[in-house]
Amino acid sequence: MLIGVDIGGTKIAAGVVDADGRVLERIQASTPVTRGAEAIVTTAAELVQGLLRLHGPVSAVGVGSAGQVDHESGIVVDANENLPGFRGLPLRERLEELLQLPVAVENDVKAAALAEAQLGAGRGVRQMLLVMVGTGIGGALVLDGKVYRGASGVAGELGHLLFRPEQGRLCPCGRRGCIEGYASGRAIMEIYAEESGRSIDVATIAKRARDGETLAREVLTQAGRALGLTLGGLVNTLGPEAIVLGGGVLQVEELYLPALEYGLQMQALPVMRRSCTVRRMELVHDAVLIGASLLAKERTEDGRRGQAAD
């Protein structure tokens, strides 16, 4: 039995996961963001302790958290304004103190990618690029079942690939022209509001598009195409066997997704495009929890190897 934790911008979930990656029980709490990082850490620990009381001891706990998380040091090296106090937070150390158990931490999108690569849409795929489009855009590269972390430990931030240089839209990261400023859920809402003077969410924009509203159709199409063109460049660079797509915005089936595929088709070199399939995430809402439990498993195995070497 394994325990995984999913720390997001609006909620924290913890779950008991079996050896085959099935979530046996899931509990959650809303994230007390206004009370800061310490309250989030305490809430996460309380959820885990609740599961431990019901299901008995485990040898390690895995956590997928929002923010740029360095798996090696266990520190959240950067986080946006949705997670106040997270920047510099020694997340692993704090949870190990509270739980008195070994803990493994990772960025939530990377945890989800690990789960999809081992147990979901990327099973049997050697080079998998996961792209999640929600409020922002997250990504992760998984090579031969292992998350690629780069020299910084936090590689994979494909939402900040440059789409429009110099005079581009301002991105939450502080730079201009990042793809996140054109193709994310937040960007779709902002662009629609700028053009129409009405602030409505992506689901409502999608409904208006289905009803035939020209502006809604245009905003979704341009956003999807922008992401497709950007991913085309990545496909040319990395040559992945599969791109696995997920996140709330991709539930907008019409317009966004076909426009994304069109952009990808335009920008990817034919030989690269032919070797790469586009798939949907399979584990969807449980991907982070399941990925976190796989990290807990790795941590347990590392611990055992450490003991054997002593």
DSSP label at residue 33: G
Spatial contact of 143 and 133, defined as CB atoms under 8 Å apart: no
Largest CA distance in the chain: 68
In this structure, what token pair is assigned to residue 275?
A: 């070797």
Per CB under 5 A, 186 contacts Zn ion? no
Span of 57-65, 109-117, 119-127, 154-162 interacting with Zn ion by CB under 5 A: 154-162
Phi first, then psi: what are they for 42, rounded to 5°?
-65, -45
Nearer to Zn ion, 178 or 209 (CB): 178
| CA separation, residue 266 to residues 230, 259, 260, 303 (Å) | 10, 10, 10, 48
Nearer to Zn ion, 26 or 164 (CB): 164
Span of 143-151, 152-160, 220-228, 296-304 interacting with Zn ion by CB under 5 A: 152-160
Query: Min. distance of Cβ 91 from Zn ion in angstroms?
Result: 23
The count of residues interacting with Zn ion (CB under 5 A) is 5
In this structure, what token pair is assigned to residue 137?
A: 């855009």
Q: Write out the E strands in the chain.
A: 2-7, 11-17, 23-30, 61-65, 68-70, 75-78, 103-107, 127-133, 137-143, 146-147, 242-246, 277-280
Per CB under 5 A, 215 contacts Zn ion? no
Of residues 15 through 34, those in contact with Zn ion by CB under 5 A are none
Binding mask 165-184 for Zn ion (x = CB under 5 A): ------x-x-x--x------
Nearer to Zn ion, 35 or 175 (CB): 175
Between CA 15 and CA 22 the distance in angstroms is: 10
Spatial contact of 142 and 176, defined as CB atoms under 8 Å apart: no
Query: Min. distance of Cβ 144 from Zn ion in angstroms?
Result: 29
Nearer to Zn ion, 176 or 207 (CB): 176
Nearer to Zn ion, 57 or 174 (CB): 174
Per CB under 5 A, 238 contacts Zn ion? no
Per CB under 5 A, 225 contacts Zn ion? no
Query: Min. distance of Cβ 204 from Zn ion in angstroms?
Result: 26
Spatial contact of 109 and 139, defined as CB atoms under 8 Å apart: yes
Nearer to Zn ion, 173 or 193 (CB): 173
Spatial contact of 25 and 55, defined as CB atoms under 8 Å apart: yes
Query: Min. distance of Cβ 193 from Zn ion in angstroms?
Result: 20
Span of 80-88, 100-108, 155-163, 267-275 interacting with Zn ion by CB under 5 A: 155-163
Nearest residue to 74 via CA among 95, 98, 97, 91? 91
Nearer to Zn ion, 56 or 174 (CB): 174
Query: Min. distance of Cβ 111 from Zn ion in angstroms?
Result: 22
Would you tell me which residues interact with Zn ion (CB under 5 A)?
Answer: 160, 171, 173, 175, 178
